[in-house]
Chain A
Amino acid sequence: MAEQEVPELETPGLRNLPLAAGVVALVGLADSVYLAVKHFTAEPVPCSLVEGCEKVLTSPYAEVAGVPIAAAGAAAYFIAFALAVLAAYGDGRMWKLFGGLATLMAGFSLWLIYLQAAVIGAFCQFCLISAATSLTLFLIFLTSALISKETSMK
């Protein structure tokens, strides 16, 4: 049976974090798929909590090299979900990869929030949901890293 060195995920309190990350990634996936479909169908997106959804979703920043950011987000959330599931089943290397991806996604989300606030001057509620989920994924990973560090120091 193949055995290899993998990061610790057996510490009490850590086991459920990949599961939680998987659930959060699913929320982000659903949100991104919805936005991506609306982008392709060019239909209005409900905008009841904030104002400016259309301004955000039809801005030049909604696409990068012809690819809708929402579609790229959906792909990223799906990969994050897959990595979290594999980690939940004990593959610690996947959790490390998840951490790298979650960090990138959180950084990108912060940039998108900056764009909405400072450049576009409007917010889109579904974009904010996506930002919240990606930041939550990063916080979940950060929590696991801190608990691991604390445990190893004991």
Chain B
Amino acid sequence: MKKQEKPKSGMPLLIIGLVFVAAIIGAIYLYNSGSGSGTTSTASSNSTAARPTPNMANAPAGAPVGVNMLGSQTAAVTVEEFADYQCGGCAAVHPVMKELASAYAGNRNFRFIYRHYPLAIPAHDKSYEASAATEAAGLQGKFWQMQDQLFRNQAAWTANPNYRQIWSEYASNLGMDVQRFQADIAGIQTKNRVDADIQRGRALGVSSTPTVFVNGKPVPFSELNIASLRRIVDAEIASVASAQQSNAAPAANANQ
């Protein structure tokens, strides 16, 4: 130990302050960019530029534009999940689907589409409204956040008569305009989006949830785990890449 002067200049405080400001700006940037890019919620804005066209998203003809999608709009491999917010199996599979989307985040050959398929059974009395609630959250750019909240907290609201209050709390916690959210749940725009997904599910013969398709092929419930899904998706990606190569080869020969 020895006598030592305290730092005289304000330089350390300046550096610390700059890093603090940079961290805050970085967090705000990440927050804003994360809520918009990469995710396509039903109607996070009136713009349709970031959304796939109905055709690209395999939506039925005449369905409203906009689907809830993660990943590349031009991906060769599409994982499409039909789910119900009051279905226990869907809540159980939810982390798996998030994990899958994480595993392929940034992979231009992969995209994940979430479809509402609220079952019309007495035990699922709030399911349709829950789908509408996530679409209402989507109108404020918070579809995936609300979807996550509803699945993660399914047990807390599914049998609670005050479920709307609980959803409003989620909306408030997500920084949403709660009054607008409540009004939008009953709005025609959200209803149309949910109905469009149901229509697509019926067209594909979906009868239970969760139902997952990989490039249109149904995945058995027993294989809705991360290892099996990754294997299936990897096989699809490899098959698409192989088909692209074989298509490219004759074209290259023809040019010679």
- From the candidates B1, B26, B27, B230, name the one contacting A8 in the complex (CB within 8 A): B1
From DSSP, what is the main secondary structure of chain B's interface residues?
A: helix
B39: nearest chain-A partner, CB-CB: A43
A85 engages B39 (CB within 8 Å): no
In the bound assembly, the distance between CA atoms of A86 and B39 in angstroms comes to 41
A90 engages B103 (CB within 8 Å): no
A43 engages B34 (CB within 8 Å): yes
Q: Is B217 an interface residue (CB 8 A)?
A: no
Q: For window 1-57 of chain A, which residues contact chain B by CB distance below 8 Å?
A: 1-10, 26, 29-30, 33-34, 36-38, 40-48, 51-55
Given A37-B30, A42-B149; A90-B6 close (CB under 8 Å):
yes
B103 engages A48 (CB within 8 Å): yes
Q: Is A81 an interface residue (CB 8 A)?
A: yes
- From the candidates B34, B98, B227, name the one contacting A37 in the complex (CB within 8 A): B34
The interface residues of chain B lying within 8 Å CB-to-CB of A53 are 99, 102
The interface residues of chain B lying within 8 Å CB-to-CB of A78 are 19-20, 23
The interface residues of chain A lying within 8 Å CB-to-CB of B103 are 47-48, 51
Q: Is B95 an interface residue (CB 8 A)?
A: yes
B98 engages A54 (CB within 8 Å): yes
B34 engages A41 (CB within 8 Å): yes
Interface residues on B, range: 35 or more
The interface residues of chain B lying within 8 Å CB-to-CB of A43 are 34-35, 38-39, 144-145
Interface residues on A, range: 35 or more
Q: Mark B1-22, 1 if CB is under 8 A from A, else 0.
A: 1111111010110011001100
Residues of B within 8 A of A (CB): 1-7, 9, 11-12, 15-16, 19-20, 23, 26-27, 30-31, 34-35, 38-39, 70, 95-96, 98-99, 101-103, 105-106, 144-145, 148-149, 152, 226-227, 230
8 A-B pairs with CB atoms under 8 Å apart are A4-B6, A5-B3, A8-B4, A30-B23, A46-B102, A52-B99, A54-B99, A86-B16
Residues of A within 8 A of B (CB): 1-10, 26, 29-30, 33-34, 36-38, 40-48, 51-55, 58, 74, 78, 81-82, 85-86, 88-92
